[in-house]
Amino acid sequence: MLDNYYVYKKEVDWSLLNQGLSIPLDIQVIFQNNIKKFISRGESKDIFLILDGASYKVKLVNQKFDESKYSNHKDILQIRYNPNSKIADKLRYNFSNTYRYLYEQRNVLEERQKKYFKIPEDKKEFLAIYTTEYADTYLIECITQTETAEARNFLVHEDEQSYEVSVNYPETDPTASIERIKKLAKIRKLNRAIGDNLKILYEYRCQICGDNFGKTYDVHIVESHHINPFVTSMNNDASNQIIICPNHHKVIHMAEPVFDRNRILFVYENGIEEKLLLNMHLSA
């Protein structure tokens, strides 16, 4: 089994089920560095996606654009495949609920409505993409409606702080049932990968105080924290995670401040406001 590292979580849409997807590089630190080693703007390359033990050849494209006009624009990466390809067939099969729902909606919606159509929260499915030790090979996993619903049923009884400990410090819980471990495996793996990527982005420094306490001892002690509790929101996107030191993490769980997204700061019940000193991935 290939080792897997960093991840991009993509909501399933019509394009993914038929022709491919774009990969934003804003916070995909390791992924971006790997790509730059072997594909430049305007170039394309065959890569391989591993899904359910099978390998599928697709095309990775680093889009060409007018760099003189958009000098600060980041690379635009796309994974492309043919609608009749085996990978497209496999994705439509794995995500049959979304495919059927989108197909039905596309038949009844007007063309202008299709552009703004959003899949309801309870019907959303996701694709997770992990880099591997090989620059041209990526592991992908499907997170279906069924798996999300099953995970939600287990998480409703879970304490948020305990859950985050299990994500930041992966270890076996001897009291957990085999079924519970199985149902939460993909979800925890996804959270851990996104959090690890953010930790690298911030160079293992706390976004609140800016300190990297572990650097002196050559260890990494920062932790990922869900702004909106994951056990209720089921939102493990980078936009719902921040990287903080254990001290601030403990304070936030105990004091339960409100996070003001417009000002990018925590507001505590006693009136204290604490702004993020470091912020490269959250938008107001």
Tell me the CATH number at 109: 2.40.330
Do residues 9 and 55 share a domain? yes
Q: How far is CA 140 from CA 146, 235, 242, in A?
A: 18, 19, 24
| Inside any domain, residue 265 | yes
| Inside any domain, residue 95 | yes
Q: In angstroms, rounded to a whole number, what is the distance separating the alpha carbons of residues 11 and 134?
A: 25
Q: Which of 199, 203, 201, 227 is nearest to 215 (CA)?
A: 203
| Inside any domain, residue 188 | yes
Do residues 253 and 128 share a domain? no
Query: What is the percent of the chain where pLDDT is above 70?
Result: 88
Q: Judge whether residue 77 has pLDDT over 90.
A: no
Q: Judge whether residue 3 has pLDDT over 70.
A: no
Our CA angle for 197, 47, 77, nearest 5°, is 55
Q: In angstroms, rounded to a whole number, what is the distance separating the alpha carbons of residues 151 and 185?
A: 9
CB neighbour class for 53 (10 Å; exposed up to 12, middle 13-18, buried from 19): exposed
pLDDT for res 221: 96
Q: In angstroms, rounded to a whole number, what is the distance separating the alpha carbons of residues 106 and 112?
A: 11
Q: In angstroms, rounded to a whole number, what is the distance separating the alpha carbons of residues 207 and 222?
A: 9
Q: What is the pLDDT of residues 121-145, one digit of tens each?
A: 889 999 999 988 887 899 999 999 9
Strands 137-143 and 241-244: unpaired
**The last residue of a domain, from among 143, 160, 179:** 143
Residues 152-157 have a mean pLDDT of 89
**The last residue of a domain, from among 143, 177, 193:** 143
Residues 32-39 have a mean pLDDT of 67
Give the pLDDT band of residue 178 (cuts 50, 70, 90): confident
Do residues 151 and 138 share a domain? no
Q: Judge whether residue 276 has pLDDT over 70.
A: yes
Counting other chains too, the contacts that 161-164 makes at CB distance below 8 Å and 24 or more residues apart are: 161/253, 163/230, 163/231, 164/223, 164/224, 164/225, 164/226, 164/230, 164/249
Helix (H, G, I), strand (E, B) or coil at 50: strand
pLDDT for res 2: 45
Question: What is the secondary structure of 82-132 as a DSSP string?
Answer: -TTSHHHHHHHHHTHHHHHHHHHHHHHS-HHHHTT----GGG--EEEEEEE
Q: Judge whether residue 34 has pLDDT over 80.
A: no
Residues 249-263 have a mean pLDDT of 97
| Inside any domain, residue 283 | no
pLDDT for res 100: 95
Helix (H, G, I), strand (E, B) or coil at 258: strand
Q: Judge whether residue 25 has pLDDT over 90.
A: no
Residues 202-214 have a mean pLDDT of 97
Give the pLDDT band of residue 42 (cuts 50, 70, 90): confident
Q: Judge whether residue 76 has pLDDT over 70.
A: yes
Do residues 174 and 81 share a domain? no
Q: Is the dihedral of CA 35, 36, 39, 41 positive or negative?
A: positive
Reading the block at residue 80, the tokens are 């492309």
Do residues 247 and 214 share a domain? yes
Helix axes 145-155, 178-201, angle to 10 degrees: 100
Q: Judge whether residue 170 has pLDDT over 80.
A: no
Q: Judge whether residue 1 has pLDDT over 50.
A: no
| Inside any domain, residue 233 | yes
| Inside any domain, residue 174 | yes
Domain count across the chain: 2
Full residue range of the structural domain in which residue 264 is found: 145-275
- Determine which helix (DSSP H) or strand (DSSP E) holds 79, and give its type and residue range: strand 77-80
| Inside any domain, residue 282 | no
Residues 154-167 have a mean pLDDT of 91
Arithmetic mean of pLDDT over the chain: 89
